[in-house]
Every structure is written in structure tokens, then in C-alpha cells.
């Protein structure tokens, strides 16, 4: 199954273009998703400044809710929403600290799907090379070699389990033996009572 995640800005596909931006103007990014079931997973938005690690911006759920961040509130400078199968991120007032490469990420079936990313920089600022679109080929999956049984783990599981079963079996046998012996006593007393002799 081929999966494509692209970012567009203001409705235009711009995975290979740089935008002329204006300080203080709003910028709207759209995460275009193709692939069955992917749009129901929600989308995370990330930004990466030059020479630094990617930074999480926000997460939009499939129910069109912005998940709260560490402080319990959605980020004030950003807005996000889901429209049909696509997700939008709006930078309300683009500032210098908003410059960088933007990505949308989908976590579906424990696999991360990344967009190609888009570079947003103010005119006259240093702009890195445009981010190239991902190739149309799907990466090959490799399977980890199958491991044998982990005996240390098995030991910690099976010994207590076997001991518990043994204790339950002993308790069952004791219960059966006690019930059988009490039943015999009642039968002897009844037989002696019917014969006319009463003994304690």
C-alpha cells in the first residue's frame, strides 16, 4: 500500500518550493494524506530550526481537537483543524522564530509516516536547500531475526505458576479428604441410630 503525505501552503503543492513570507502575516499549512485509514490517526506537526532537533508544535486528533501540550493548553500562536481527510496548521502571525522546516507526521499501526516537509523563511534570511520530495518507492521492511526462548524469563514465569497450581491441587485434595471423612462419620451415626444404639 503506497502512502503519500504532502504539505501544501494555501492550497498549492509546495514540497519543492520556498515561499516568500511576510513578517506578521498568517501562514496556513495543509497536510494532504492519501492512503486508507491514515486520516483517522490524527496528525502531529513539527518544526525544525537550522542545526537543531525537531520541535513538537501540536497534535490534532481525528475528531478535530487540538491536544493540549505540556502546560495543558494548545499553543497560542498556532491554530489547527481537520477538514475532510486533511489537516491544517495556521501560524497566526509569522515571526522570525517561526522560520524552519515544517513536517506533519502520522502514527498509524505503530508506523510513523512523515511528510516531505516545507521550508518557511523570511526574505533575506539564510535559506537552506529545498527539501526534496520522498521517492515514490516504499522502503523495504526487514524482519528482526527470530529469537529462541528466553530461559531466564521462562523461569520467572513458570516456577511461580507451577507452584500456584501445585498449592491449588493440594488444597483440593485436602478439601475432598475432609469432606469424605465427615460424610463417613454421619453415616455411622445414622446406622447406629437405626439399630437402636446411640453412640457419640
**pLDDT the model gives residue 172:** 95
Mean pLDDT in order along the chain per 10 residues (200 residues): 46 41 84 73 87 88 81 81 85 89 84 82 64 49 58 73 94 92 61 56
Sign of the CA dihedral with 183 first, then 185, 187, and 190 last: negative
Cell readout for 54 is: 525537531
DSSP-derived secondary structure for 126-155: --PPPPPPPPSSPPPP-PPPPP---HHHHH
Q: In angstroms, how far is the first alpha carbon of the chain from the final one?
A: 84
What pLDDT was estimated at residue 158?
82
- Outline where 25-92 has alpha helix (H): none
| Amino acid 190: pLDDT | 57
Residue identified by cell 475432609 is 178
Q: Please report the pLDDT score of residue 14 as a whole number.
A: 31
- The predicted pLDDT at position 10 comes to 39
d(CA 178, CA 169): 14
The label of the residue with cell 505540556 reads: 70
**Structure confidence at residue 130 (pLDDT):** 46
DSSP reduced 3-state for 95: coil
Which cell is 108 given? 498509524
Give me the pLDDT at residue 82, please: 87
Amino acid at each position: 500500500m503506497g502512502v503519500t503525505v504532502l504539505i501544501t501552503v494555501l492550497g498549492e503543492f509546495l514540497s519543492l518550493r520556498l515561499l516568500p513570507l511576510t513578517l506578521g502575516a498568517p501562514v496556513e499549512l495543509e497536510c494532504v494524506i492519501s492512503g486508507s485509514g491514515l486520516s483517522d490517526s490524527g496528525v502531529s506537526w513539527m518544526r525544525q530550526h537550522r542545526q537543531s532537533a525537531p520541535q513538537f508544535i501540536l497534535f490534532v486528533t481525528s475528531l478535530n481537537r487540538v491536544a493540549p501540550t505540556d502546560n495543558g493548553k494548545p499553543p497560542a500562536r498556532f491554530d489547527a483543524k481537520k477538514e475532510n481527510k486533511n489537516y491544517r496548521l495556521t501560524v497566526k502571525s509569522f515571526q522570525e522564530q517561526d522560520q524552519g522546516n515544517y513536517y506533519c507526521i502520522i502514527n498509524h499501526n505503530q508506523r510513523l509516516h512523515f511528510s516531505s516537509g516545507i521550508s518557511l523563511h523570511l526574505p533575506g534570511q539564510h535559506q537552506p536547500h529545498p527539501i526534496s520530495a520522498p521517492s515514490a518507492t516504499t522502503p523495504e521492511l526487514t524482519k528482526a531475526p527470530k529469537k529462541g526462548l528466553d530461559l531466564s524469563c521462562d523461569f520467572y514465569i513458570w516456577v511461580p505458576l507451577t507452584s500456584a497450581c501445585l498449592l491449588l491441587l493440594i488444597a483440593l485434595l485436602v478439601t475432598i479428604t475432609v469432606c469424605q471423612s465427615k460424610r463417613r462419620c454421619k453415616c455411622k451415626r445414622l446406622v447406629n441410630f437405626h439399630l437402636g444404639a446411640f453412640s457419640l
